[in-house]
């Protein structure tokens, strides 16, 4: 290998941000539930590939 570290998985990234901000475990679980819902709603696409337009579609469906 050439020394390049692979990017952490999405769950690990979310967990790191939540832990740094000292949110509770319940909040972490709730956020992860909605992230999974969002990904499934968009046929398993990664959030970084969708952009802000994808979020507005989900909000219209829920609202």
- Write down the residue that tokens 């956020």 correspond to: 31
Question: What is the structure's pLDDT at 23?
Answer: 94
Q: Which own/partner pairs from 45-53 qualify as long-range (CB within 8 Å, at least 24 positions apart)?
A: 46/10, 47/10
Give residue limits of the domains in the chain: 10-62
Tens of pLDDT along 12-52?
999 999 999 999 999 999 999 998 998 898 889 888 888 77
Task: Between 10 and 60, name the one with better pLDDT.
Answer: 10
Question: What is the structure's pLDDT at 12?
Answer: 94
């Amino acid at each position: 290998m050439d020394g390049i570290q692979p990017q952490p998985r999405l769950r690990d990234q979310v967990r790191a941000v939540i832990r740094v901000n000292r949110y509770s475990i319940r909040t972490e679980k709730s956020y992860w539930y909605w992230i999974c819902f969002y990904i499934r709603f968009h046929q398993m696409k990664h959030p970084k590939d969708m952009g802000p337009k994808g979020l507005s579609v989900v909000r219209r469906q829920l609202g």
